[in-house]
Amino acid sequence: MKALMAAPIDSANSSAPDLERIFRENHAMVFRAAYRVTGNANDAEDVLQTVFLRMLKRDPGADPVGNMTSFLHRSAVNAALDLVRSRQNIRNIPLDELEPVLAEPAHRRPDRVQASSEIREWLRGAIARLNPRIAEMFMLRFFEGKENPEIARLLNTTPGTVAVTLSRTRDRLEKEYQVYMGGVA
Name the percent of the chain in helix, strand, coil, to the closest 5. Answer: 70, 0, 30
Q: How many helices (H) and strands (E) does the chain have?
A: 9, 0
For residue 123, CA distances in Å to 29, 75, 114, 135, 161 come to 21, 20, 14, 11, 23
DSSP element (H, E) containing 39? none
Report pLDDT for 107: 55
Q: What angle do CA 97, 181, 165 make, to 5 degrees?
A: 60
How many angstroms separate the CA atoms of 137 and 9, rounded? 33
| pTM of the complete model | 0.52
How many angstroms separate the CA atoms of 24 and 22, rounded? 6
DSSP per position, 78-118: HHHHHHHHHT-------STTHHHHHHS-TTS-HHHHHHHHH
**pLDDT tens digits, the chain, 185 residues: what are they?**
444 433 333 333 446 668 888 889 999 999 988 888 888 888 889 889 889 888 888 777 778 778 888 889 888 988 888 887 776 544 444 555 555 545 555 555 665 556 667 777 777 888 888 888 898 889 888 888 889 998 898 888 998 999 999 989 988 888 887 776 666 55
Question: Is 14 strand, coil or helix?
Answer: coil
Report pLDDT for 182: 63
What's the pLDDT tens digit per position in 58-67? 777 778 778 8
Report pLDDT for 89: 41
Residue 165: CA count within 13 A, CB half-sphere: 23
Identify whether the C-beta of residue 162 lies closer than 8 Å to the C-beta of residue 148.
Answer: yes
